[in-house]
Amino acid sequence: MMEYAVECKNLTHYYGTRLVFENMNFNVRRGSIFGLLGKNGTGKTTTINILNGFLSPTGGQCLVFGEDSRNLSPATKARMGFLIEGHIQYSFMNIRQIEKFYSCFFPKWNKEPYYELMAKLEVTENQKLSTMSCGQRSQVALGLILAQDPDLMVLDDYSMGLDAGYRRLFLDYLTEYAHGEGKTIFITSHIIQDLEAFMDDCVIIDYRSVLVTMSLKQFRAEFKRYSFDVTNPALKLVKDGVVKNFELIRTHASIYSFNPLPEVEHYLNAHGVEFSGLHEVPMSLEDAFIGITGKY
């Protein structure tokens, strides 16, 4: 059995003359929950479209279960479930009708997870989707994908329109699906705070480049924020091997880095920075995401 469900090798894409990303590399382990994270406009949906075979990359290659995404076989496509941004469904149908409709297209259809989730939403089988909230409709979409029993579930910005409760329900079901059934989940998002206890591995992308490719545990352990005071309010530090991001508000500065504190201290001394009170500041995953990508 192959180790990876998805392999992206030197993936490059342009829209006309505009570069979206260049030489992007990552692997998605089978049975893992993988997050492709980045701000809006950094190429997350483009990557999803390439993975699904909807778009041919300008360069490089994307493999899904060992097949090139440009020529996915019907058998491989049948192993993939895709939740598009916005949770689009046929709103004139009711809960029972849409389940029956979808079941005709998927040979491994298992309706039990779908109706189990609908019971948690406390909706009746005759309730039309048009009368449901955005959060409820998203759960209908999730239930329909779970019923497909795909080996790889691809979710593009799952969180759109969901309040905190529905996002938690969504992620709880996905976690059970992945770990309980040995499935693979590929998820994109710019909403980070919910994913801290959810993802196994991640890639964080910026405009035209990859910033981080590692396990979430490693990223949380190694990426640090250091704060200190300076005497020069015009201080500027450029991004390099030590400084991944730098912020200065009046005389209070922060450096984001993968280097330990003694090396950051040595860096500041070597660059002639007059500082005091250098210390590490604990970060949430959202803090770390903003630290690596920047606020603007």
User: pLDDT by residue (tens digit) across 111-137?
Assistant: 998 998 898 888 889 999 999 887 788
DSSP state of 127: -
Is residue 1 within 8 Å of residue 65, measured between CB atoms?
no
Question: What's the whole-model pTM score?
Answer: 0.87
What confidence score (pLDDT) does residue 86 get? 56
What confidence score (pLDDT) does residue 70 get? 96
Is residue 144 within 8 Å of residue 105, measured between CB atoms?
no
Percentage of the residues of the chain whose pLDDT score is greater than 70:
96
What confidence score (pLDDT) does residue 160 get? 59
What confidence score (pLDDT) does residue 182 get? 84
What confidence score (pLDDT) does residue 179 get? 81
Domains and CATH numbers, the chain: 4-218 (3.40.50.300), 223-293 (3.30.70)
Separation of alpha carbons 289 and 240, rounded Å: 18
Q: Report, as ranges of residue numbers, the positions in the chain whose pLDDT lies below 70.
A: 1-2, 85-89, 158-162, 296
Q: What is the chain's mean pLDDT, rounded? A: 89
137-165 burial: b if 16+ Cβ within 10 Å, else e: bbbbbbbbbbbbbbbbbbbbbbbeebeee
220-240 burial: b if 16+ Cβ within 10 Å, else e: eeebbbbebebeeeebebeee
Strands 4-15 and 18-29: antiparallel
